[in-house]
């Protein structure tokens, strides 16, 4: 496994206004990486001050949560949403230009974000089973284009020591019969077969990057050997025709969400939103 930079990194250029934006050549590179490898990493696309505010509030929420915590597969991998309050909902995160340019290039101009969630990898966590987040649309080896792209925003620097995600690049188009169980776990025989062809990799990923991956790509959370939790924001962009439940957001952000050229599948409420429920829809036992 590698903890260094790799060809799946595409670093957007910093514009005169300080915002990182992809050139047309970089957009082509990112699109091709997603098609071939199933993932691309865009460093520095979320401003550091916003990353720090989200990190601090998510860790404060973690400290006050009541047990049991909703876990993903194994102990220590917690499903936890960022606070859905107006002062912590940022266009630079939810409507990030570089991210949407990549996702709409693959999913079509009407691609929509339908998830605003997060994960925290706790110190001493266990290793998750290798899994995919979304299944293939039909059985058998016939490939199909992506219909869902995960967008992960690390809120601290991800390293091998603190449990950066393990990626099995190129596996998003593998769909032999019997390789996956109902929760998306990859069968052991399939893992060993793929490992002989191309072993998994881990990457050191700076806070504020956007990790965009095909939702069918094999991956897993790894052990956090550090003494600090490792939080991230997680979103999912889908093709317009794919039906998903909407994100529930406060009415105060409705004007800028709906004014954006980038689509969000959302409903809006004036009521408080419980983002720390112990029965999270995305938690997988």
pLDDT above 90: percentage of residues in the chain = 85
- pLDDT over 90 (residue 174): yes
The Cα 200–Cα 94 span in angstroms is: 29
User: Mean pLDDT, to the nearest integer, of 101-109?
Assistant: 98
Position 1 scores a pLDDT of 46
Please give the DSSP secondary-structure letter assigned to residue 180.
B
Least confident of 10-19, 23-32, 79-88, 211-220: 10-19
- pLDDT over 80 (residue 149): yes
Q: What six digits make up the tokens of 260?
A: 């954006």
User: Mean pLDDT, to the nearest integer, of 43-52?
Assistant: 97
The pTM score is 0.95
The Cα 192–Cα 50 span in angstroms is: 41
User: Mean pLDDT, to the nearest integer, of 86-106?
Assistant: 98
CB burial string 162-198: b at 16+ within 10 A, e below: bbbbbbbbbbbbbbeeebbeeebbbeeebbeebeeee
- pLDDT over 70 (residue 6): no
């Amino acid at each position: 496994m590698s903890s260094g930079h790799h060809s799946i990194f595409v670093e957007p250029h910093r514009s005169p206004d300080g915002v990182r934006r992809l050139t047309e050549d970089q957009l082509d590179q990112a699109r091709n990486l997603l098609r071939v490898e199933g993932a691309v990493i865009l460093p520095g696309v979320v401003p550091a001050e916003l990353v720090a505010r989200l990190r601090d509030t998510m860790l404060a929420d973690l400290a006050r949560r009541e047990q049991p915590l909703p876990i993903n597969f194994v102990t220590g991998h917690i499903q936890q949403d960022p606070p859905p309050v107006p002062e912590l909902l940022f266009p630079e995160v939810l409507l990030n230009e570089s991210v949407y340019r990549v996702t709409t290039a693959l999913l079509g101009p009407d691609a929509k974000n339908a998830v605003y969630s997060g994960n925290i990898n706790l110190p001493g966590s266990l290793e998750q089973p290798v899994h995919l987040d979304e299944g293939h649309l039909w059985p058998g080896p016939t490939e199909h284009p992506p219909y869902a792209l995960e967008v992960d925003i690390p809120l601290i620097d991800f390293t091998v020591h603190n449990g950066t995600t393990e990626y099995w690049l190129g596996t998003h188009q593998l769909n032999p019969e019997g390789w996956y169980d109902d929760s998306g776990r990859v069968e052991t025989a399939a893992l060993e077969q793929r490992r002989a062809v191309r072993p998994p990799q881990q990457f050191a990923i700076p806070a504020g990057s956007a990790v965009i991956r095909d939702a069918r790509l094999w991956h897993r959370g790894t052990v956090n050997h550090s003494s600090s939790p490792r939080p991230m924001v997680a979103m999912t962009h889908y093709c317009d025709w794919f039906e998903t439940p909407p994100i529930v957001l406060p009415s105060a952000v409705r004007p800028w969400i709906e004014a954006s050229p980038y689509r969000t599948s959302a409903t809006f409420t004036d009521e408080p939103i419980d983002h720390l429920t112990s029965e999270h829809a995305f938690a997988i036992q």
